[in-house]
Every structure is written in structure tokens, then in C-alpha cells.
């Protein structure tokens, strides 16, 4: 069974690995290619399942996607875009949330779009209400059907003013991908400004879009009648880089992450240093290491950019089980992102989760029934266990826990990790981890 990994833990990770383009940018840039009337070239693409899913969806819509030998460069030719069969799109349902971002480009190209039931990681409800409201504001007609959502724009899409209730990454991308070719001016307030969004704006500008970003989370777009293809090298995956950094810290190791870049990781690097980890930044990447002695407990709150991102939280929590004292982590982006701690507790960690907003500002989940704060007491040695991967980032955290624990752990459902971590088994081997297939 290839979906099970037996991890023989207790060894520090040592060595060098490379991260390529960011999963959460590459998939969106691929969708942006749909908006052009000439082919686009995207470089630094990682070979992960999310890229395969978007490739499949694009091909269903008539886009030709060609990859080079190691999959790192994609050429996307959207000149023959066509409507896909509902059943075919539906076959992709549950594997990704990306289909929702096809709406704007498909409405511009074909006047209609169909969105199957959406999947993505089970880390909360993950609704799409902001997305649908944005599309309606542009003048689209949104109809819910049993098999999914049908969206039409018989009279075209018209620029609009939108204020997001929360700076959602996906909703901001939805707006960008729709506004660039809508008629007139669109203004978005309370926009997300994650580096992956800024790189999407770079791509759209290369295609011919007119977009300005103010310092106060306001983005303005002047619609244009046509866009061309782009050539772009994806920014690096700061979530993957931080995941390997956390693995180095938890296992008392020393890992150089080639391709990791400082500007997108400032908040992570500050926290890594406060916990007691050391790092050296070079032109090629970042070396993360445990300098010996005790790690320190911290108070941490996840937030939208430029804060400490939610996707960094799960891997770092494993390292916090090895820090001396009480750490407090307040998750403010997702209401339900501590489910993975149950397995850690089973391995000997002392982690309590609370409904209250602990250690930071009150957030929109306070006084509601969501366990969104955690108190971690350490250091506690972790014991090997049999664990089931719950979601992408939680799964990588379980892997770190298994690598930290002495003895042999069985990690099931590792296929989920392939969604966002390129060749993670090859990288584990390069770092001296010992594991075998169950
Ligand atoms: N939200 C709504 N309504 C909406 C959209 C979002 O209430 O219509 C809420 C969500 O439920 C959540 C919050 O807004 O509580 C933030 O969600 P956001 O829309 O920002 O997240 P997303 O676009 O669905 C992307 C990444 C996530 C990452 C978040 C936050 C992709 C494909 N996914 O998700 O990445 O955690 O932004 O940075 O870009 C991952 O890589 O493992 C991952 C989950």
C-alpha cells in the first residue's frame, strides 16, 4: 500500500532540499492564462497534485497544456477555449477549490461557467459566499443546481465597488480575475494582499491589465478589452519552506531550503527566532537549524498577510511541543484548524484547545463554538504512533511528529500530502530520514 509510510523517527533532519513555485500562486496563474488570447509560459512550477488537477480542468475547457521534462515549465495555450461537459467538471469535484476561480475568465470567454461542489482541505466550512456575491455584483446570474452552481453573464460583466467582510485570498483573486476584463473600473476594499496575490497581479499586468494597489488594502482595476499571454517565473513556496524549517527545529536538525526567500517569510522568520531557532539567509535560500539547548515557548496569533500565516501554524505547533514552557496559539483565519493536535496529544504532547480567543486580539470566532486557540505545554518527548493524515498541512505536521518521535510510526493517507509538497519522500530521504512503505 503506497498510501502508508512507516517512519522510523528520532533522527535530526540534515541536508539540503529545494522548493519551487508556490502552490497557492501557480494554480491561480494557470487559471489567469485562460484570459489571454495568446499562449502563456509559467516557470518554476512544482510537480504536485494541485497542478495536475488544474491542468486537467484547463484541458477540459480546451486549453492545451504542455510541460517540459521535469514539469517545471508549462506552456498554456487558451486559443480554443470551449465549454466543458458538466459531468467531466464534476469528476474533479472534491479534489480542489480552484474551479471557483474559473468563473470570471470563463464568463469573459464563453458567457457561462459551471462550478461543481467544491472540496479543498477540511479545515472549516470554507464557504464560497464572498465569491458568488462578487460575481453577482459584476452582473452575473448565479443559479444553484443540484450538481453545482451555474453562472451566466448574458449582458457582459461591469466594473463594481466591493468591500470584503474579511480579506479573503480566494475572493480577492476572484475579483482580480473577473475585473481585469470587465467594463469600466472596479474597486476592492479590505482586499487580501498576500505575496501570492501580488504575484498574480504581476502576471495580470504582464497580460495587459491595469491594476493599482494602495497601502490600505484597496485595489483598483481598470478593465481592458483584451489580454495577451504572459511569461512568468513563479514566486517560491513559503509554506513549503516554513514546513521544512519547522521539521528541522522539531527534530533538532539543520536544513537548508534552496529557493526559500526572505521578504515573503518575515513574520515566520521572526517567530522562528523567538522560539530559539537559528537561520542564515543567502542568495540561494535559507538555512534553518536548531542551535542546541532548549527552545522557548511563545504567544502566537495567525493572521492575514503581513501577519503569521495560518498555513505555517500547523507545522510550527509540532516544534512548540519541544519548547520549554507554555505556548499559546490563536488561530484567527480558520475556525477549525486544530483538529490535527489530537494525534499529537496521542503521541505524548500536552495540548489543550479552547473556544476563547487566547493570547491576542478577539477575533470573529470568539464566543462561538469553535476550538480555535491552543495551549501547548512542553517539552514533551513524542512517542511513535499510528496516525491518519487529516488534511494537507495537518498531514505534514503529523509527518514531522513521526520524524521527531523515537520508534516507528505508521502514517496513513500520505497521498494528501502530494497535493502541495513536491516529491516530499525524495526530500525526506535527502535529509537522512528513515522510512519505508507499509
Ligand atoms: N471565507 C468565507 N467566505 C468565502 C471565502 C472565504 O467566509 O467566500 C472565509 C474562510 O472560511 C476562511 C477565511 O475566509 O475562514 C479565509 O479564507 P480565504 O478565502 O482567504 O482562503 P482560500 O482562498 O480558500 C487560500 C489558500 C489556503 C490558505 C488561505 C489563507 C489556496 C488554494 N488556498 O485559501 O491554503 O490557507 O488562502 O491564506 O490558495 C493550503 O495551502 O493548505 C491552504 C489551505
> What would the 3-class secondary structure string for the chain be?
CCCEEEEEECCCCEEEEECCECHHHHHHHHHHHHHECCCEEEECCCCCHHHHHHHHHHHHCCCEEEECCCCCCEEEECCCCCCCCHHHHHHCCCCCCHHHHHHHHHHHHHCEEEEECCCCCCCCCCCCHHHHHHHHHCCCEEEEECCEEEEECCCCCECCEEECCCCCHHHHHHHHHHHCCCECEEEEECCCCCHHHHHHHHHHHHHCCEEEECCCCCEEEECCCCECCCEEECCECHHHHHHHHHHHHHCCCEEEEECCCCHHHHHHHHHHHHHCCEEEECCCEEEEECCCCCEECCEEEECCCCCECHHHHHHHHHHHCCEEEEEEEECCCCCCCCCCHHHHHHCCCEEEEECCCCCCCCCCCCCCCCCCEEEEEECCCCECCEEECCCHHHHHHHHHHHHHCEEEEEEECHHHHHHCCCCHHHHHHHCCCEEEEC
Lateral strand order in the sheet of 112-116: 112-116, 148-152, 141-145
How far apart are the C-alpha atoms of 407 and 391, rounded to whole Å?
24
Q: Radius of gyration (Cα) for the chain, nearest Å?
A: 22
Cell numbers representing residue 18 in the block: 529545494
* Identical fold, 4-19+236-437 and 23-233: yes
Which atom of ligand 1 has the smallest separation from the CA of 166? 14
Distances (CA, A) of 236 to 107, 232, 423, 429: 30, 12, 16, 22
Cell numbers representing residue 64 in the block: 492545451
Active-site option among 103, 121, 357, 363: 121
Q: Is the CB of 310 under 6 A from ligand 1?
A: yes
Give the per-residue pLDDT at 121.
53
Architecture of the domain made up of 23-233 = Alpha-beta prism (3.65)
Give the per-residue pLDDT at 144.
84
**CA 215, 27, 418, 46 torsion-angle sign:** negative
Give the per-residue pLDDT at 149.
86
Give the per-residue pLDDT at 139.
97
Which atom of ligand 1 has the smallest separation from the CA of 239? 41
Written as tens digits, the pLDDT of the chain (438 aa) is 479 999 999 999 999 999 999 999 999 999 999 999 999 999 999 999 999 999 999 999 999 999 999 989 999 999 999 888 777 877 765 567 888 999 999 999 999 998 876 655 554 556 889 999 999 999 999 998 877 789 999 999 999 999 999 999 999 999 999 999 999 999 999 999 999 999 999 999 999 999 999 999 999 999 999 999 999 999 999 999 999 999 999 999 999 999 999 999 999 999 999 999 999 999 999 999 999 999 999 999 999 999 999 999 999 999 999 999 999 999 999 999 999 999 999 999 999 999 999 988 899 998 788 999 999 999 999 999 999 999 999 999 999 999 999 999 999 999 999 999 999 999 999 999 999 987
Cell numbers representing residue 433 in the block: 530520514
Give the per-residue pLDDT at 117.
66
Q: Is the CB of 334 under 6 A from ligand 1?
A: yes
Cell numbers representing residue 422 in the block: 513536491
Q: How far is the CA of 226 from the centre of ligand 1 (A)?
A: 29
Q: Is the CB of 165 under 6 A from ligand 1?
A: no
Give the per-residue pLDDT at 55.
95
Q: Is the CB of 166 under 6 A from ligand 1?
A: yes
Which atom of ligand 1 has the smallest separation from the CA of 24? 39
Which atom of ligand 1 has the smallest separation from the CA of 124? 11
Q: Is the CB of 328 under 6 A from ligand 1?
A: no
Q: How far is the CA of 382 from the centre of ligand 1 (A)?
A: 31
Residue nearest to atom 25 of ligand 1 (CA): 169
Which atom of ligand 1 has the smallest separation from the CA of 309? 38
Q: How far is the CA of 379 from the centre of ligand 1 (A)?
A: 32
Q: Is the CB of 114 under 6 A from ligand 1?
A: no
Using alpha carbons, select from 317, 314, 326, 332 the residue that is nearest to residue 368: 332
Architecture of the domain made up of 4-19+236-437 = Alpha-beta prism (3.65)
Ramachandran assignment for 62, one of left (phi > 0), alpha (psi -120 to 50 degrees), beta (any other)? left
Q: Is the CB of 200 under 6 A from ligand 1?
A: no
Domain boundaries, the chain: 4-19+236-437, 23-233
Q: Is the CB of 39 under 6 A from ligand 1?
A: no
Q: How far is the CA of 170 from the centre of ligand 1 (A)?
A: 6
Q: How far is the CA of 204 from the centre of ligand 1 (A)?
A: 21
Give the per-residue pLDDT at 119.
53
Residue 121 annotated to the active site = yes
Amino acid at each position: 500500500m503506497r498510501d502508508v509510510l512507516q517512519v522510523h523517527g528520532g533522527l535530526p533532519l540534515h541536508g539540503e532540499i529545494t522548493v519551487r513555485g508556490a502552490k497557492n500562486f501557480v494554480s491561480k496563474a494557470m487559471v489567469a492564462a485562460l484570459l489571454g488570447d495568446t499562449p502563456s509560459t509559467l516557470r518554476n512550477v512544482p510537480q504536485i497534485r494541485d497542478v495536475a488537477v488544474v491542468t486537467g480542468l484547463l484541458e477540459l475547457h480546451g486549453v492545451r497544456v504542455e510541460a517540459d521534462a521535469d514539469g517545471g515549465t508549462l506552456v498554456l495555450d487558451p486559443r480554443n477555449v470551449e465549454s466543458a461537459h458538466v459531468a467531466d467538471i464534476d469528476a474533479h469535484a472534491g479534489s480542489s477549490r480552484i474551479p471557483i476561480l474559473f468563473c470570471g475568465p470563463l464568463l469573459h470567454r464563453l458567457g457561462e461557467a459551471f462550478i461543481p461542489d467544491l472540496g479543498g482541505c477540511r479545515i472549516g466550512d470554507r464557504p464560497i459566499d464572498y465569491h458568488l456575491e462578487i460575481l453577482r455584483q459584476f452582473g452575473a446570474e448565479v443559479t444553484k443546481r443540484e450538481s453545482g452552481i451555474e453562472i451566466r453573464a448574458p449582458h457582459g460583466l461591469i466594473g463594481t465597488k466591493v468591500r470584503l467582510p474579511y480579506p479573503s485570498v480566494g475572493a480577492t483573486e476572484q475579483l482580480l480575475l473577473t475585473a481585469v476584463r470587465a467594463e469600466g473600473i472596479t474597486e476592492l476594499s479590505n482586499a487580501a494582499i498576500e505575496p501570492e496575490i501580488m504575484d498574480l497581479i504581476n502576471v495580470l499586468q504582464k497580460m495587459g491589465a491595469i491594476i493599482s494597489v494602495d497601502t490600505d488594502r484597496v485595489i483598483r482595476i481598470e478593465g481592458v478589452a483584451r489580454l495577451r499571454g504572459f511569461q512568468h517565473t513563479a514566486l517560491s513556496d513559503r509554506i513549503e519552506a516554513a514546513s521544512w524549517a519547522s521539521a528541522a527545529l522539531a527534530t533538532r536538525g539543520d536544513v537548508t531550503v534552496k529557493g526559500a526567500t526572505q521578504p515573503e517569510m518575515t513574520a515566520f522568520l521572526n517567530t522562528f527566532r523567538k522560539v530559539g531557532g537559528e537561520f542564515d539567509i543567502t542568495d540561494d535560500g535559507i538555512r534553518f537549524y536548531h542551535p542546541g539547548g532548549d527552545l522557548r515557548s511563545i504567544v502566537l496569533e495567525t493572521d492575514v498577510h503581513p501577519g503569521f500565516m495560518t498555513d505555517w501554524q500547523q507545522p510550527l505547533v509540532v516544534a512548540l511541543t519541544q519548547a520549554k514552557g507554555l505556548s499559546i496559539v490563536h488561530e484567527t483565519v480558520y475556525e477549525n484548524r486544530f483538529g490535527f493536535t489530537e494525534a499529537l496529544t496521542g503521541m505524548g504532547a500536552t495540548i489543550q484547545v479552547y473556544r476563547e480567543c487566547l493570547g491576542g486580539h478577539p477575533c470573529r470566532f470568539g464566543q462561538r463554538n469553535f476550538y480555535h486557540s491552543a495551549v501547548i505545554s512542553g517539552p514533551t518527548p513524542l512517542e511513535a504512533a499510528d496516525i491518519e493524515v487529516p488534511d494537507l498541512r495537518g498531514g505534514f505536521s503529523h509527518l514531522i511528529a513521526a520524524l521527531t518521535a523515537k520508534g516507528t510510526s505508521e502514517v496513513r493517507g500520505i497521498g494528501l500530502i502530494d497535493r502541495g509538497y513536491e516529491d516530499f519522500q525524495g526530500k525526506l530521504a535527502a535529509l537522512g530520514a528513515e522510512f519505508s512503505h507499509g
